[in-house]
Structure 1
Amino acid sequence: MYDMNHLKKLGTLSKNASEAMKAFQAFDSIALQEGVIPVKYKELMAVAVALTTQCPYCLEIHKKNAIKAGATQEELAEVTFVSAALRAGAAVVHGTHLMDE
């Protein structure tokens, strides 16, 4: 199911919903461009989110972009564990909903 070749179908998706795709691409481009937060950090954040949402397409794209922006293997490794800690933490604090007082 998760084959990077499916990304070639973005053109078809765009053809069938061109205005929405243009708006998404503009938003995506603006959100990830250099700003107060450097591109490298934005791409590392994108990797962290992709790890928690478990999107293989986002992982591949943003890993490449992070490396291109100067991210190291060590930074990618730390991002992995920050993502894991937050995901695990969310499960723990949601566990409070299961507790009777």
Structure 2
Amino acid sequence: MYDSNNLNNLEKLNASAKHGMDAFWAFDKAAFEEGALSSKTKQLLAVAVAMTTQCPYCIELHTKAARDAGADDAELSEAALVAAAIRAGGAITHATHLFK
């Protein structure tokens, strides 16, 4: 199902739902601007979230953005491990429901 060429269809989505998509793009831009967190940190967070949601589009796009912001292999690797720990932790904590 994943095909990076599908991202070309965003133009159709932008045109078909202009008001909502304009709001989305403005929100997205604001979320990733420098602030209390650096752009690199925000992109590393996005990589970790993308790993947990397992979105190949987000993994690809935010990995590139993180690298463009200066992230190196070690930082990306640690972000991936944080994502793995969160996913594993969710399974472990939900396992407590087995013992009711």
Instruction: Name the TM-score class by shorter chain.
Output: over 0.9
Q: 1:92 aligns to what?
A: 92
What SS is found at the alignment partner of 1:74? helix
Structure 2: 5+ residue stretches without partners: none
Output aligned runs, 1:47-58, within 5 Å.
47-58=47-58
Q: Distance in 1 between matches of 2:33 and 2:27?
A: 10
Deviation at 1:97, TM superposition (A): 1.3
Q: Distance in 1 between matches of 2:55 and 2:48?
A: 11
What SS is found at the alignment partner of 2:75? helix
Q: 1:30 aligns to what?
A: 30
Deviation at 1:91, TM superposition (A): 0.6
Deviating beyond 2 angstroms after TM superposition, the runs of 4 or more aligned structure 1 residues are none
Deviation at 1:46, TM superposition (A): 0.1
Give TM-score, length-normalised by structure 2.
0.98
1:74 maps to 2:74: yes
What SS is found at the alignment partner of 2:71? coil
Deviation at 1:47, TM superposition (A): 0.1
Q: 1:13 aligns to what?
A: 13
Q: 2:4 aligns to what?
A: 4
2:94 partner amino acid: H
How many residues get paired? 100
Deviation at 1:66, TM superposition (A): 0.2
Structure 1: 5+ residue stretches without partners: none
Deviation at 1:39, TM superposition (A): 0.3
Give TM-score, length-normalised by structure 1.
0.97
Please, what is the CA RMSD of the aligned residues? 0.6
Q: Distance in 2 between matches of 1:22 and 1:60?
A: 23
Q: Identity percentage over the alignment?
A: 53
Deviation per residue, 1:35-66 (Å, 9 max, x gap)? 01000000000000000000000011100000
Deviation at 1:98, TM superposition (A): 1.5
